Chains A and B, each alone.
Chain A
Amino acid sequence: MTTENPAVAARTSGDRMRDAGSSLLRVGGVFIVVLLVIAVFALLTGGKSLIPANLLGMLRAMSSVAILGMGLLLVIVVGEIDLSFGYLYGLSASTIAVSWIMWGWPIWAAIILAFAVAIFWGCFNAFFTTVVKIPSFIATLGSGTLIFGFTLLITNTSTFNPAYPPAGKVVNPDELKLFTSLANQQLPFNFPMQGLWMIGIAIVVWFLLSRSLFGFRLKAIGGNPEAARLARLPVRKYKFAAFIAMGLLACTAAMLDFAFIGSTQPNAGISFVFPTFAAVIIGGASLAGGRGSVAGTLTGALLLAVLVNGLALLASGPFATQMLFGTVTIGAVVLDRYTQRKRGML
């Protein structure tokens, strides 16, 4: 260290803190935006948006996007993309519905089957991405459509509601109660059950991504797959893990929504594709891989939920939601690039 510039050597203490601080800046920035948006809507709706029931409703509304988003986050961090999760959501709910209502399986078996199917499609995506080496964009674009076709086949394009089974089919009322209780239970303060699921999943994914060797390597692989290969990191295994996690979380989100809403249809998940991507990107994940956080994704999902909720209270019409989604997504990425440049990364 003898030849070192003293000015370089001098600053060693406290940089860890500053480093952590600057990476939080990104999420913090979005969080401030969330608070601003909440304040604006509170003014516009005369405080209506701030009543507890509405806030808890928002928490429930963001949970599906957040759960899907955490799956997508893992895939994006490892440097891939998944366009099929919206269809897998539909297939998962439909698999539960068909095997339970039409085939008369017990509900637990139907749920296990749905998760098995989700794992299968996760492996399918990972196989074509890592073994056949098709870009994941194309592999999952294809598999998504394939999954949708499959869903239409097994459901015969119909909608299912276990409370009103089709003629000749019987649903055990105890099982129905058990299933709906997954997402509907009387919790203290009317806290939404799905919010609790979301928090539980967030803790697990946060640990995996930010505190475990798995996440450390996942980010390395996403950051530079070639270097990861030459360093003998298990690239293929980790990509399989990411796609499987995406599948499992898509299935979880579908199961919970099905249990909460009480009915499902083949195209149920398609409308989640854009908000989920938006939440992950707003949350600071890089599409180039290697960067992203659970806190960011949750904040992104919250921002979208607040926007949708506020606009609904104002009865502004569907056009406003779409326009704001688009604006917010681009704005978030612009903000991200700006803060990155400030840090001297670009």
Chain B
Amino acid sequence: MSDAASERGVVIRGLRKHYGDTIALDGLDLQARPGEILGVAGPNGAGKSTMIKILAAETPQTDGEILVDGEPWSIDIGVHRVAVVHQEPQLFPNLTVGDNVMIGREHVRWLRRDLDDVERTIMGELGILDVKDTPLEFVPLAIQQRTEIARALVQDARVFLFDEPNSALTEEESNDLFRRMHALADAGRVVILVSHRLAELVQHTDRVVVILDGKAARSLEGADKTQEAIARELVVGAPGAKETDAQRVARISDAGKPTVEVSGWSHDKGEFHDVTLHVRPGEVLAIVGVEGSGARELVRSIAGFEPGAGHIVIDGQVGQDAIRNRTGFVSADRAASLFANYSVGDNVVARLGREIAGAGGALRRGRMSRIAHDIRDSFRIKAANVNVPIRSLSGGNQQKVAIAAAIVKRPKALVLEEPTRGVDIGSKEEIYRLLRHFTSEGHAVIMYCTEVPEVFDVADRVHVVSDGRLSDPLLVFQYPDVKALAAAITRLERHAATPAAA
């Protein structure tokens, strides 16, 4: 009996997965016991997402053994006993919350049935019974995730995998989510949390496994489980090219005439009004604001992807021409920045025109390949070669390709939306390094951010948008730590909101 008991939970031995030439998992060993929350950390490309996909039967493994409660893993177990709570729930947006919970287990073949008692109880406990008749697409993300949890609970899933579940949630919503995670663990279920947020891993998990290059590199528990220890494991080999404050100040004060100047800038549908801002050469300007504040729309409008009207000058050119010719844009949504049918190399050069074409519009394949290889090396993109499909890369490396493709086009101003959303700490540092390198050549970066640490790490100045109005800028180097900057940003958000509410 004791033998069987030790096998309870999830046991992974020697798990391997190859995508073509790219090795995503290289003999991963991992054990998750019922009743504990196991944290999984790792740089992008380490194999975390692949492990989840294999467990949930979304992709077949190449080799290795998985046991769930002592039973060998099968597709049936992957589908019914393993539940994944995604960053963006994978449900049916057009169906109601209730339908989403019961779909697939209707039992009755022909007649449409109502929710049964089990479903009602579980939905009640999760606080989503009230919205059972609302189409899923109209409820907030947090409710959608709870719907995903409910759906798994009614199927009596044993293993819950949370994949960056709270990256788009408010603090309150994520606290609630963590409470539910603990409740699941307390009820004897296996809970695995994959996260880039070290503080949460430390606070909410019993044990943290760090995955590097497709293998479990380290397991940290008890007193060893600190943010510093995890971070140390994660950035092994990553370059720490962080600028000193003095360098930062020197760079900004040296900066001359602004690269980007915007004044009297308003949105056609009123998302923001009468904005005035500028970005100097070599400067990274962050625009912060919650969803609906107009911050995202403002940033997009500077790249021409939201309708903005007013005065805009970029590197001496005026108006929409300046936007078209001098800015490059990278969306927060990776699916909207990459060409899935293209290789890594072709994605890198997809924005280029004359640079890769010769007489009669003939492609210069040699030059394309050279550019792609240069970029792969300087951006440290983890790809076996530039001819592998873009989809074989991990999220962080895909994001590097997306940003590289914009930089290769050599815009004067690079406009980014949440440049490191869902990206691990190692790739994050890489991306920040690349942005700093880009600005060091006298270019400007404008980025929409939702996370204060990102602002603190990479931005020189930050504006806060609330209710479509822009705050005065904060100089980031004046704040000693992230907390102080966060407090100042929150103050500006409230401050701006109060008069509008009155």
Interface residue ranges, A against B (CB under 8 Å): 1-5, 7-9, 11-12, 15-16, 19, 207, 211-217, 219-220, 222-224, 226-228, 230-233, 286, 289-291, 343-345
Please report the C-alpha to C-alpha distance between residue A345 and residue B18 in the assembled complex, in whole angstroms.
12
Please report the C-alpha to C-alpha distance between residue A243 and residue B335 in the assembled complex, in whole angstroms.
26
Closest to B411 in A: A232
Contact A216 B336 (CB under 8 A): no
Q: Per-residue CB proximity of B186-213 to A under 8 Å, as 1/0?
A: 0000000000000000000000000011
| 14 A-B pairs (CB sep. < 8 Å) | A1-B380, A3-B212, A3-B213, A3-B238, A16-B387, A211-B362, A212-B357, A213-B363, A222-B341, A224-B341, A227-B338, A228-B339, A232-B329, A345-B391
Judge whether B21 is part of the interface by a CB distance below 8 angstroms: yes
Contact A227 B237 (CB under 8 A): no
Please report the C-alpha to C-alpha distance between residue A275 and residue B263 in the assembled complex, in whole angstroms.
58
Contact B377 A1 (CB under 8 A): yes
Contact A3 B236 (CB under 8 A): yes
Please report the C-alpha to C-alpha distance between residue A343 and residue B214 in the assembled complex, in whole angstroms.
21
Contact B382 A233 (CB under 8 A): no
Judge whether B276 is part of the interface by a CB distance below 8 angstroms: no
Judge whether B257 is part of the interface by a CB distance below 8 angstroms: no
A216 touching B346 in the complex, CB below 8 Å, given contacts A224-B338, A290-B339, A343-B20: yes
Please report the C-alpha to C-alpha distance between residue A12 and residue B19 in the assembled complex, in whole angstroms.
15
Contact A226 B22 (CB under 8 A): no
Inter-chain contacts of B324 with A (CB < 8 A): 232
Q: Tell me the minimal C-beta distance from B376 to chain A in angstroms.
A: 9
Interface residue ranges, B against A (CB under 8 Å): 18-23, 26, 212-214, 236-238, 305, 324, 329-331, 335-343, 346, 350-351, 353, 356-357, 360-363, 369, 377, 380, 382, 384-385, 387-389, 391-392, 405-406
Contact B380 A230 (CB under 8 A): no
Contact A8 B382 (CB under 8 A): yes
Inter-chain contacts of B19 with A (CB < 8 A): 344
Top 8 nearest A-B pairs by Cβ distance?
A223-B341, A290-B341, A213-B357, A3-B237, A212-B361, A223-B339, A19-B387, A226-B336
Please report the C-alpha to C-alpha distance between residue A220 and residue B22 in the assembled complex, in whole angstroms.
23
Contact of A220 among B330, B350, B362 (CB under 8 A): B350
Please report the C-alpha to C-alpha distance between residue A3 and residue B233 in the assembled complex, in whole angstroms.
12
Contact of A227 among B22, B339, B361 (CB under 8 A): B339
Extra contacts, 16 of them, besides A216-B356, A231-B350 (Cβ < 8 A), are A7-B23, A7-B26, A12-B384, A15-B21, A16-B369, A19-B343, A19-B387, A212-B357, A212-B361, A213-B361, A216-B346, A220-B346, A227-B335, A230-B305, A232-B324, A290-B340
Closest to A231 in B: B351
Q: Tell me the minimal C-beta distance from A323 to chain B in angstroms.
A: 33
Q: Tell me the minimal C-beta distance from B235 to chain A in angstroms.
A: 10
Q: Tell me the minimal C-beta distance from B371 to chain A in angstroms.
A: 13
Contact B384 A212 (CB under 8 A): no
Q: Tell me the minimal C-beta distance from B233 to chain A in angstroms.
A: 12
Please report the C-alpha to C-alpha distance between residue A4 and residue B23 in the assembled complex, in whole angstroms.
10
Contact A9 B213 (CB under 8 A): no
The residue in B19, B212, B335, B351 that gathers the most chain A C-beta atoms within 10 A of its C-beta is: B351
Contact B392 A344 (CB under 8 A): yes
Inter-chain contacts of A16 with B (CB < 8 A): 369, 385, 387
Q: Tell me the minimal C-beta distance from B349 to chain A in angstroms.
A: 8
Please report the C-alpha to C-alpha distance between residue A26 and residue B22 in the assembled complex, in whole angstroms.
22
Inter-chain contacts of A231 with B (CB < 8 A): 337, 350-351, 405-406
Inter-chain contacts of A343 with B (CB < 8 A): 20
A4 touching B382 in the complex, CB below 8 Å, given contacts A223-B342, A230-B336: yes
Contact B360 A224 (CB under 8 A): no
A233 touching B351 in the complex, CB below 8 Å, given contacts A5-B26, A11-B384, A224-B340: yes
The residue in B337, B341, B387, B405 that gathers the most chain A C-beta atoms within 10 A of its C-beta is: B341
Please report the C-alpha to C-alpha distance between residue A15 and residue B19 in the assembled complex, in whole angstroms.
14
A219 touching B342 in the complex, CB below 8 Å, given contacts A11-B384, A213-B363, A232-B351: yes
